[in-house]
Protein backbone atom coordinates (compact mmCIF):
# COMPACT_ATOMS: atom_id res chain seq x y z
CA UNK A 1 0.00 0.00 0.00
CA UNK A 2 2.97 2.34 0.55
CA UNK A 3 3.68 2.18 -3.17
CA UNK A 4 0.09 3.18 -3.88
CA UNK A 5 0.36 6.09 -1.43
CA UNK A 6 3.53 7.25 -3.18
CA UNK A 7 1.79 6.96 -6.56
CA UNK A 8 -1.08 9.03 -5.19
CA UNK A 9 1.28 11.78 -4.02
CA UNK A 10 2.97 11.79 -7.43
CA UNK A 11 -0.47 11.89 -9.07
CA UNK A 12 -1.56 14.88 -6.97
CA UNK A 13 1.66 16.79 -7.73
CA UNK A 14 1.42 16.08 -11.46
CA UNK A 15 -2.28 16.95 -11.45
CA UNK A 16 -1.71 20.38 -9.89
CA UNK A 17 1.31 21.18 -12.12
CA UNK A 18 -0.38 20.08 -15.35
CA UNK A 19 -3.63 21.88 -14.56
CA UNK A 20 -1.69 25.14 -14.20
CA UNK A 21 0.16 24.59 -17.49
CA UNK A 22 -3.05 23.55 -19.27
CA UNK A 23 -4.87 26.65 -18.02
CA UNK A 24 -2.03 28.97 -19.07
CA UNK A 25 -1.71 27.34 -22.50
CA UNK A 26 -5.47 27.32 -23.13
CA UNK A 27 -5.92 30.97 -22.09
CA UNK A 28 -2.94 32.13 -24.19
CA UNK A 29 -4.13 30.12 -27.21
CA UNK A 30 -7.61 31.64 -26.97
CA UNK A 31 -6.15 35.14 -26.56
CA UNK A 32 -3.89 34.71 -29.60
CA UNK A 33 -6.90 33.56 -31.63
CA UNK A 34 -8.74 36.75 -30.76
CA UNK A 35 -11.28 35.32 -28.32
CA UNK A 36 -12.67 38.06 -26.03
CA UNK A 37 -11.48 38.34 -22.45
CA UNK A 38 -15.02 37.86 -21.14
CA UNK A 39 -15.43 34.53 -22.92
CA UNK A 40 -11.94 33.36 -21.88
CA UNK A 41 -12.58 34.35 -18.28
CA UNK A 42 -15.94 32.60 -18.09
CA UNK A 43 -14.81 29.38 -19.80
CA UNK A 44 -11.07 28.76 -19.75
CA UNK A 45 -10.28 30.46 -16.44
CA UNK A 46 -13.45 29.61 -14.49
CA UNK A 47 -13.74 25.99 -15.63
CA UNK A 48 -9.97 25.50 -15.98
CA UNK A 49 -9.41 26.02 -12.26
CA UNK A 50 -11.61 22.95 -11.65
CA UNK A 51 -9.81 20.91 -14.31
CA UNK A 52 -8.21 18.49 -11.77
CA UNK A 53 -11.58 17.55 -10.25
CA UNK A 54 -13.30 17.33 -13.64
CA UNK A 55 -10.60 15.12 -15.18
CA UNK A 56 -10.43 12.86 -12.10
CA UNK A 57 -14.23 12.49 -12.28
CA UNK A 58 -14.02 11.66 -16.00
CA UNK A 59 -11.30 9.03 -15.59
CA UNK A 60 -12.97 7.47 -12.54
CA UNK A 61 -16.32 7.21 -14.33
CA UNK A 62 -14.73 5.73 -17.47
CA UNK A 63 -12.99 3.13 -15.30
CA UNK A 64 -16.32 2.10 -13.74
CA UNK A 65 -15.53 3.80 -10.44
CA UNK A 66 -18.06 6.63 -10.55
CA UNK A 67 -18.57 6.59 -6.77
CA UNK A 68 -14.98 7.83 -6.39
CA UNK A 69 -15.85 10.82 -8.58
CA UNK A 70 -19.04 11.51 -6.63
CA UNK A 71 -17.16 11.24 -3.33
CA UNK A 72 -14.51 13.64 -4.64
CA UNK A 73 -17.11 16.26 -5.64
CA UNK A 74 -19.01 16.10 -2.36
CA UNK A 75 -15.89 15.70 -0.22
CA UNK A 76 -14.15 18.65 -1.91
CA UNK A 77 -17.09 20.91 -1.04
CA UNK A 78 -17.00 19.72 2.56
CA UNK A 79 -13.21 20.22 2.75
CA UNK A 80 -13.35 23.63 1.05
CA UNK A 81 -15.71 25.02 3.68
CA UNK A 82 -14.69 23.10 6.80
CA UNK A 83 -10.94 22.76 6.24
CA UNK A 84 -9.94 25.58 3.89
CA UNK A 85 -12.20 28.39 5.11
CA UNK A 86 -11.94 27.14 8.70
CA UNK A 87 -8.12 27.32 8.76
CA UNK A 88 -8.01 30.60 6.83
CA UNK A 89 -10.56 32.29 9.12
CA UNK A 90 -8.50 31.26 12.15
CA UNK A 91 -5.50 33.00 10.57
CA UNK A 92 -7.49 36.12 9.59
CA UNK A 93 -11.24 36.86 9.79
CA UNK A 94 -12.83 36.59 6.33
CA UNK A 95 -15.31 39.25 5.15
CA UNK A 96 -17.88 38.46 2.46
CA UNK A 97 -17.76 40.63 -0.67
CA UNK A 98 -21.00 42.11 -2.01
CA UNK A 99 -20.82 39.88 -5.11
CA UNK A 100 -20.69 36.76 -2.94
CA UNK A 101 -23.56 37.92 -0.72
CA UNK A 102 -25.87 39.01 -3.52
CA UNK A 103 -25.06 36.52 -6.25
CA UNK A 104 -22.62 33.66 -5.69
CA UNK A 105 -23.69 32.37 -2.26
CA UNK A 106 -27.38 32.13 -3.31
CA UNK A 107 -26.21 30.24 -6.41
CA UNK A 108 -24.23 27.82 -4.21
CA UNK A 109 -27.23 27.26 -1.94
CA UNK A 110 -29.44 26.62 -4.97
CA UNK A 111 -26.90 24.25 -6.58
CA UNK A 112 -26.48 22.30 -3.33
CA UNK A 113 -30.24 21.84 -2.87
CA UNK A 114 -30.59 20.92 -6.56
CA UNK A 115 -27.92 18.21 -6.26
CA UNK A 116 -29.56 16.69 -3.17
CA UNK A 117 -32.97 16.68 -4.85
CA UNK A 118 -31.51 14.94 -7.92
CA UNK A 119 -29.81 12.18 -5.92
CA UNK A 120 -32.73 11.76 -3.51
CA UNK A 121 -33.66 8.60 -5.45
CA UNK A 122 -30.11 7.36 -4.69
CA UNK A 123 -29.17 7.39 -8.36
CA UNK A 124 -27.11 9.78 -10.48
CA UNK A 125 -27.95 9.34 -14.15
CA UNK A 126 -27.81 11.06 -17.54
CA UNK A 127 -30.85 13.24 -16.90
CA UNK A 128 -29.39 14.39 -13.57
CA UNK A 129 -26.12 15.27 -15.28
CA UNK A 130 -27.91 17.26 -17.98
CA UNK A 131 -29.90 19.19 -15.36
CA UNK A 132 -26.70 20.04 -13.46
CA UNK A 133 -25.01 21.22 -16.67
CA UNK A 134 -28.08 23.32 -17.49
CA UNK A 135 -27.66 25.00 -14.10
CA UNK A 136 -24.00 25.67 -14.92
CA UNK A 137 -24.97 27.16 -18.31
CA UNK A 138 -27.50 29.45 -16.58
CA UNK A 139 -24.87 30.73 -14.13
CA UNK A 140 -22.33 31.32 -16.92
CA UNK A 141 -24.99 33.25 -18.85
CA UNK A 142 -25.73 35.39 -15.78
CA UNK A 143 -22.01 36.04 -15.30
CA UNK A 144 -21.67 37.01 -18.96
CA UNK A 145 -24.47 39.57 -18.59
CA UNK A 146 -22.88 40.91 -15.42
CA UNK A 147 -19.35 41.12 -16.87
CA UNK A 148 -20.58 43.09 -19.89
CA UNK A 149 -21.85 45.79 -17.51
CA UNK A 150 -18.72 45.78 -15.34
CA UNK A 151 -15.80 48.17 -15.68
CA UNK A 152 -12.87 46.04 -17.00
CA UNK A 153 -10.63 47.58 -14.33
CA UNK A 154 -12.93 46.23 -11.61
CA UNK A 155 -13.57 42.81 -13.17
CA UNK A 156 -12.32 39.86 -11.12
CA UNK A 157 -12.06 37.74 -14.27
CA UNK A 158 -9.95 40.40 -16.00
CA UNK A 159 -7.56 40.56 -13.05
CA UNK A 160 -7.18 36.77 -13.13
CA UNK A 161 -6.37 36.89 -16.85
CA UNK A 162 -3.68 39.50 -16.23
CA UNK A 163 -1.90 37.10 -13.88
CA UNK A 164 -1.61 34.42 -16.60
CA UNK A 165 1.63 34.46 -18.63
CA UNK A 166 1.61 35.82 -22.19
CA UNK A 167 2.94 33.32 -24.77
CA UNK A 168 3.56 33.01 -28.47
CA UNK A 169 1.10 30.72 -30.22
CA UNK A 170 3.64 27.89 -30.60
CA UNK A 171 4.45 27.93 -26.86
CA UNK A 172 0.77 28.25 -25.95
CA UNK A 173 -0.17 25.21 -28.06
CA UNK A 174 2.77 23.25 -26.65
CA UNK A 175 1.71 23.81 -23.04
CA UNK A 176 -1.93 23.25 -23.93
CA UNK A 177 -1.16 19.80 -25.35
CA UNK A 178 1.46 18.83 -22.74
CA UNK A 179 -0.69 20.10 -19.87
CA UNK A 180 -3.72 18.15 -21.08
CA UNK A 181 -1.70 14.96 -21.66
CA UNK A 182 -0.08 15.07 -18.20
CA UNK A 183 -3.41 16.02 -16.64
CA UNK A 184 -5.07 12.92 -18.09
CA UNK A 185 -2.15 10.66 -17.11
CA UNK A 186 -1.99 12.10 -13.56
CA UNK A 187 -5.74 11.64 -13.09
CA UNK A 188 -5.51 8.03 -14.26
CA UNK A 189 -2.61 7.41 -11.87
CA UNK A 190 -4.53 9.02 -9.01
CA UNK A 191 -7.68 6.98 -9.67
CA UNK A 192 -5.63 3.76 -9.90
CA UNK A 193 -3.79 4.45 -6.63
CA UNK A 194 -7.01 5.47 -4.83
CA UNK A 195 -8.78 2.31 -6.00
CA UNK A 196 -5.89 0.09 -4.88
CA UNK A 197 -5.77 1.78 -1.45
CA UNK A 198 -9.52 1.31 -1.01
CA UNK A 199 -9.19 -2.39 -1.87
CA UNK A 200 -6.20 -2.84 0.46
CA UNK A 201 -8.05 -1.19 3.36
CA UNK A 202 -11.30 -2.97 2.59
CA UNK A 203 -13.29 0.25 2.36
CA UNK A 204 -15.39 1.77 -0.41
CA UNK A 205 -14.01 4.06 -3.09
CA UNK A 206 -16.62 6.58 -1.92
CA UNK A 207 -14.79 6.95 1.40
CA UNK A 208 -11.44 7.41 -0.36
CA UNK A 209 -13.02 10.04 -2.61
CA UNK A 210 -14.54 11.85 0.38
CA UNK A 211 -11.27 11.93 2.30
CA UNK A 212 -7.86 11.46 0.65
CA UNK A 213 -8.81 12.50 -2.89
CA UNK A 214 -11.01 15.37 -1.70
CA UNK A 215 -8.27 16.75 0.55
CA UNK A 216 -5.67 16.41 -2.20
CA UNK A 217 -7.75 18.24 -4.81
CA UNK A 218 -8.57 20.94 -2.20
CA UNK A 219 -4.89 21.69 -1.44
CA UNK A 220 -4.59 24.30 -4.26
CA UNK A 221 -7.65 26.10 -2.87
CA UNK A 222 -6.11 25.98 0.64
CA UNK A 223 -2.85 27.52 -0.60
CA UNK A 224 -4.63 30.17 -2.70
CA UNK A 225 -7.08 31.08 0.07
CA UNK A 226 -4.44 31.41 2.79
CA UNK A 227 -2.30 33.38 0.32
CA UNK A 228 -5.15 35.82 -0.34
CA UNK A 229 -5.71 36.32 3.38
CA UNK A 230 -1.99 36.84 4.05
CA UNK A 231 -1.81 39.42 1.23
CA UNK A 232 -4.59 41.47 2.81
CA UNK A 233 -7.23 40.33 0.30
CA UNK A 234 -9.43 38.13 2.53
CA UNK A 235 -12.62 39.02 0.62
CA UNK A 236 -11.23 37.17 -2.42
CA UNK A 237 -10.79 33.99 -0.36
CA UNK A 238 -14.50 33.28 0.18
CA UNK A 239 -15.31 34.10 -3.45
CA UNK A 240 -12.75 31.53 -4.66
CA UNK A 241 -14.19 28.79 -2.43
CA UNK A 242 -17.82 29.55 -3.26
CA UNK A 243 -17.01 29.53 -6.98
CA UNK A 244 -15.09 26.27 -6.65
CA UNK A 245 -17.97 24.61 -4.77
CA UNK A 246 -20.49 25.70 -7.41
CA UNK A 247 -18.34 24.09 -10.11
CA UNK A 248 -17.85 20.93 -8.03
CA UNK A 249 -21.62 20.44 -7.98
CA UNK A 250 -22.65 21.59 -11.43
CA UNK A 251 -19.61 20.43 -13.44
CA UNK A 252 -17.74 17.72 -11.53
CA UNK A 253 -20.82 15.93 -10.16
CA UNK A 254 -22.42 16.01 -13.60
CA UNK A 255 -19.57 14.03 -15.22
CA UNK A 256 -20.21 10.56 -13.70
CA UNK A 257 -23.94 10.94 -14.29
CA UNK A 258 -23.37 11.75 -17.97
CA UNK A 259 -21.18 8.68 -18.49
CA UNK A 260 -23.09 5.98 -16.62
CA UNK A 261 -25.99 5.73 -14.19
CA UNK A 262 -24.64 5.19 -10.68
CA UNK A 263 -26.50 3.84 -7.64
CA UNK A 264 -25.52 5.51 -4.37
CA UNK A 265 -25.41 4.07 -0.87
CA UNK A 266 -27.92 5.33 1.67
CA UNK A 267 -25.05 7.00 3.56
CA UNK A 268 -24.06 9.04 0.50
CA UNK A 269 -27.43 10.74 0.59
CA UNK A 270 -27.86 11.42 4.30
CA UNK A 271 -24.38 11.46 5.85
CA UNK A 272 -22.30 12.96 3.04
CA UNK A 273 -24.77 15.15 1.13
CA UNK A 274 -26.25 16.13 4.49
CA UNK A 275 -22.85 17.30 5.72
CA UNK A 276 -22.28 19.26 2.52
CA UNK A 277 -25.66 20.97 2.96
CA UNK A 278 -25.06 21.62 6.68
CA UNK A 279 -21.71 23.34 6.07
CA UNK A 280 -23.15 25.37 3.19
CA UNK A 281 -26.03 26.51 5.43
CA UNK A 282 -23.50 27.31 8.17
CA UNK A 283 -21.61 29.49 5.69
CA UNK A 284 -24.86 31.27 4.78
CA UNK A 285 -25.67 31.76 8.47
CA UNK A 286 -22.31 33.43 9.05
CA UNK A 287 -22.93 35.60 5.97
CA UNK A 288 -26.50 36.73 6.62
CA UNK A 289 -27.45 35.99 10.20
CA UNK A 290 -25.07 35.96 13.14
CA UNK A 291 -22.95 39.11 12.91
CA UNK A 292 -23.69 42.76 12.29
CA UNK A 293 -20.99 42.49 9.62
CA UNK A 294 -20.86 39.72 7.01
CA UNK A 295 -17.64 38.07 8.16
CA UNK A 296 -16.36 34.67 9.27
CA UNK A 297 -14.73 35.29 12.65
CA UNK A 298 -11.89 33.25 14.16
CA UNK A 299 -14.33 31.50 16.51
CA UNK A 300 -16.59 30.60 13.58
CA UNK A 301 -13.53 29.33 11.72
CA UNK A 302 -12.79 27.02 14.67
CA UNK A 303 -16.40 25.77 14.59
CA UNK A 304 -16.15 25.00 10.87
CA UNK A 305 -12.82 23.21 11.26
CA UNK A 306 -14.10 21.15 14.20
CA UNK A 307 -17.17 20.18 12.17
CA UNK A 308 -14.90 18.95 9.35
CA UNK A 309 -12.68 17.01 11.79
CA UNK A 310 -15.73 15.44 13.44
CA UNK A 311 -17.11 14.39 10.06
CA UNK A 312 -13.84 12.72 9.10
CA UNK A 313 -13.67 10.92 12.44
CA UNK A 314 -17.18 9.62 11.76
CA UNK A 315 -16.02 8.37 8.34
CA UNK A 316 -13.05 6.63 9.93
CA UNK A 317 -15.30 4.95 12.48
CA UNK A 318 -17.77 3.76 9.86
CA UNK A 319 -15.15 2.70 7.27
CATH code assigned at 290: 1.20.1420.30
Mean pLDDT of 294-319: 92
pLDDT tens digits, residue range 194-227?
888 888 888 888 898 899 888 888 887 787 788 7
Assess whether pLDDT exceeds 90 at residue 302. yes
The reported pLDDT for the residue numbered 160 is 61
Q: How large is the average pLDDT for residues 104-110?
A: 94
Cα–Cα dist 11/219, whole Å: 13
| Three-class SS of 150-193 | CCHHHCHHHHHHHHCCCCCHHHHHHHHHHHHHHHHHHHHHHHHH
What pTM value is reported for the model? 0.87
Q: What is the reported pLDDT for 124?
A: 93
Could you give the percent of the chain with pLDDT greater than 90?
35
- Alpha-carbon dihedral 57, 62, 68, 73, rounded to 10 degrees: 20
What's the rounded Cα separation, in Å, for the pair 227 and 225? 5
Instruction: Count Cβ atoms below 10 Å from residue 306 Cβ, excluding itself.
Output: 12
Strands 295-296 and 262-263: unpaired
Q: For 122-152, write each residue's pLDDT tens digit.
A: 899 999 999 999 999 999 888 878 767 665 5
Q: Summarize pLDDT for 245-293 with one digit per residue, the tens.
A: 999 999 999 999 999 888 888 877 789 999 999 999 999 999 987 666 7
Model pLDDT, residue 73? 92
Give percent of the chain above pLDDT 70. Answer: 89
Q: Which range of residues forms the domain containing residue 129? A: 2-318
Q: How many domains does the chain have?
A: 1
Give one word for 291, left, alpha or beta, with left for phi > 0 and alpha for psi -120 to 50.
beta
Q: What is the mean pLDDT of residues 217-244?
A: 79
Greater confidence (250 vs 36) lies with: 250
Amino acid sequence: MWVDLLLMVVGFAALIWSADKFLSGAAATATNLGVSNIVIGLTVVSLGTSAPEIVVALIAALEDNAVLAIGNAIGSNIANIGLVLGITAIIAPLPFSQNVLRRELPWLLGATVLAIVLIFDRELNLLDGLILLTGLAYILWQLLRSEKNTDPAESALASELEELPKMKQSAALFWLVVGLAVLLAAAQLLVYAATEIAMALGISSMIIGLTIVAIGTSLPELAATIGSAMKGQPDIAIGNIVGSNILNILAVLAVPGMISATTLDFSALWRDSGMMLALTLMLALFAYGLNSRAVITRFEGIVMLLAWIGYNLLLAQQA
